[in-house]
């Protein structure tokens, strides 16, 4: 049943994605993949849609809108942040001092925040699944926990920066 549905929808999805992708600023293949993923998630939870063709058209438009919003909110880097090739010794020393200050502040955070942020800052580039396994928490709670920890870190760093400013 599922295989027949996917085979039937494939040409329609290709056509819809090709039509919507240019306006969304994405590749048709990326749009198709996002819709296939959404369909598979739906099949797991709610079963097949009652009107698959209509559902697919709406899903393609929805994914295209989401992609446009994401593209509009993202800001490209002027240069690769990890690229230290054209930086002088002073800039490298200042960057190293900033990284040390950040790591020191992270260690002073409450609860699980130090372990979570250290995992997120790890040069191993761990996935959310790996971090959740390492910390023993659910993958779904990582986003809210990360937001809470980053808020604590912002407040901690803002207090330190404000305390060091010369007033008057």
Query: Each residue of 102-129: pLDDT tens digit?
Result: 889 999 999 889 999 999 888 888 888 8
CATH classification (class only), 95-164:
mainly alpha
Q: What are phi and psi of 86, to 5 degrees?
A: -105, 15
Average pLDDT, the chain: 84
82 to each of 69, 100, 117, 127, 128, how far by Cα in Å? 26, 16, 18, 19, 21
State the sign of the Cα–Cα–Cα–Cα dihedral 112, 114, 116, 119. negative
Distance CA 121, CA 124 (A): 8
Whether residue 79 has pLDDT greater than 80: no
Residue for token digits 């490298």?
Answer: 92
Residue 71 banded pLDDT, cuts 50, 70, 90? confident
Residue written as tokens 């790996």? 130
Residue ranges per domain, the chain?
Answer: 2-72, 95-164
The C-alpha atoms of residue 83 and residue 85 are separated, in whole angstroms, by: 6
User: What mean pLDDT do residues 142-156 have?
Assistant: 88
- pLDDT at position 19 is 94
> Rounded CA gap, 166 and 168, in Å?
7
Judge whether residue 51 has pLDDT over 90.
Answer: yes
Query: Comparing 8 with 161, which gets the higher pLDDT?
Result: 8
Q: According to the model, what pLDDT value does residue 165 have?
A: 54
Is residue 14 over pLDDT 60? yes
Does residue 132 surpass a pLDDT of 80?
A: yes
Report whether 156 contacts 106 (CB < 8 A): no
Distances (CA, A) of 15 to 12, 74, 94, 134: 5, 27, 52, 43
Q: How confident is the model at residue 10 (pLDDT cuts 50, 70, 90)?
A: very high
Runs of H (alpha helix) within the chain: 2-24, 28-45, 52-73, 89-107, 113-121, 128-135, 142-164
Calpha distance 73→54 (Å, rounded):
29
């Amino acid at each position: 049943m599922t295989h027949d549905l996917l085979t039937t929808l494939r040409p329609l999805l290709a056509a819809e994605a090709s039509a919507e992708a240019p306006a969304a600023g994405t590749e048709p293949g990326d749009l198709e993949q996002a819709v296939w993923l959404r369909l598979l998630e739906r099949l797991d939870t709610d079963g097949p849609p009652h009107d698959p063709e209509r559902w697919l058209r709406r899903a393609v438009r929805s994914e295209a809108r989401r992609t446009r919003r994401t593209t509009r909110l993202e800001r490209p880097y002027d240069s690769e942040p990890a690229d230290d090739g054209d930086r002088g010794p002073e800039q490298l020393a200042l960057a190293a001092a900033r990284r040390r200050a950040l790591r020191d502040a992270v260690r002073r955070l409450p609860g699980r925040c130090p372990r979570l942020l250290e995992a997120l800052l790890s040069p191993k580039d761990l996935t959310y699944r790996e971090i959740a396994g390492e910390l023993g928490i659910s993958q779904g709670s990582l986003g809210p926990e990360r937001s809470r920890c980053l808020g604590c870190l912002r407040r901690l760093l803002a207090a330190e920066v404000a305390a060091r400013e010369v007033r008057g």
